[in-house]
């Protein structure tokens, strides 16, 4: 719930949907990591101040955020919390809508991280926030669907080269909620998405092109449901075990 005191937003019970690892996150994991990778996490007070600069977007369920060096989720975790607070206000009275719009909120969060332990921890933290908010556990379809979304939205890779840790082009899914429990997914190459600004420049050869001319998905999927996303998560788990 969002309360307003002196016109400033206050998130009630903020820590009630905050994963324990996020609460205990340090700014520096080790001096060696700082030396090798320049890894220093942004303090929470500064994260909140920065997010308040785009407050309206952070409180919009379907606004998309990409963190190109997401670490363990210093920015993505509070963004998800703000989105879930918006879900609770708009759809809290309907468990069906609450669950599906919470998934949509998660679907609109993206991250890239070069260090493997960070990306795993980031997925764990965001999944923990979802689990605490929706009161779900690992066997639940909703939990597995959220885990699958995080497996494709949070990428182990390098934002500078736009390649995964396996030297493949980074691909991100664009998710949409069609209502009545149905989701749509289209996949795009990251380099196409980031290059769109050059196309739209005033003097660019492609300035007159519309969005549909630039953003061509590399794959469009059939509509899917929460249960089908959960099944996809089980399929990914089986591949890893093999």
Q: How many Å apart are CA 58 and CA 162, to the nearest integer?
A: 25
What does the pLDDT average to over 22-48?
58
Cβ atoms of residues 122 and 111 within 8 Å: yes
What does the pLDDT average to over 167-183?
97
Confidence class for position 216, pLDDT limits 50, 70, 90:
confident
What was the pLDDT predicted at 44? 84
pTM of the model: 0.79
Task: Give the position of tokens 């989720």.
Answer: 73
What does the pLDDT average to over 3-23?
41
End-to-end CA distance of the chain: 43
Residue by residue, DSSP assigns 12-81 as: TTGGGGS-HHHHT--S-S-HHHHHHH---PPPHHHHHHHHHTTHHHHT-TT--EEETT-TTTTTHHHHHH
- Please count the residues of the chain: 242
Q: What are phi and psi of 123, to 5 degrees?
A: -60, -40
pLDDT at 189 over 50: yes
Q: Is 206 helix (H, G, I), strand (E, B) or coil?
A: coil
What does the pLDDT average to over 203-212?
47
Q: How does pLDDT run across 78-120, given as a tens digit for each residue?
A: 999 999 999 999 999 999 999 999 999 999 999 999 999 999 9
- Among 141, 127, 126, 105, smallest CA distance to 230 is for 141
What does the pLDDT average to over 45-68?
94
As a whole number, the mean pLDDT across the chain is 81
pLDDT at 207 over 50: no
- More confident call, 32 vs 75: 75
Cross-strand partners of 111: 67, 154
- Domain boundaries of the chain, sorted by first residue: 2-170
What was the pLDDT predicted at 73? 92
What was the pLDDT predicted at 56? 95
- Among 9, 25, 12, 21, smallest CA distance to 59 is for 9
What was the pLDDT predicted at 192? 81
pLDDT at 167 over 60: yes
């Amino acid at each position: 719930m969002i309360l307003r005191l002196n016109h400033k937003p206050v998130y009630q019970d903020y820590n009630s949907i905050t994963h324990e690892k996020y609460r205990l996150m340090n700014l520096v994991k080790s001096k060696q990591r700082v030396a090798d990778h320049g890894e220093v996490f942004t303090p929470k007070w500064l994260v909140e101040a920065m997010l308040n600069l785009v407050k309206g977007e952070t409180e919009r369920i379907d606004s998309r955020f990409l963190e190109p060096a997401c670490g363990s989720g210093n920015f993505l975790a509070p963004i998800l919390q703000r989105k879930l607070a918006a879900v609770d206000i708009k759809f809290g009275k309907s468990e069906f809508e609450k669950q599906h719009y919470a998934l949509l909120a998660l679907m609109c969060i993206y991250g890239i991280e070069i260090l493997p332990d960070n990306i795993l921890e980031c997925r764990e933290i965001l999944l923990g926030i979802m689990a605490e908010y929706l009161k779900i556990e690992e066997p639940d379809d909703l939990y597995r669907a959220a885990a699958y979304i995080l497996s494709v939205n949070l990428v182990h890779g390098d934002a500078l080269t736009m390649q995964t840790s396996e030297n493949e082009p980074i691909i991100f899914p664009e998710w949409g909620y069609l209502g009545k429990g149905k989701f749509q997914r289209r996949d795009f190459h990251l380099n196409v998405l980031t290059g769109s600004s050059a196309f739209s420049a005033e003097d660019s050869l492609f300035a007159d092109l519309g969005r549909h001319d630039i953003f061509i998905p590399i794959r469009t999927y059939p509509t899917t449901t929460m249960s089908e996303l959960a099944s996809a998560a089980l399929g990914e788990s089986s591949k890893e075990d093999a």
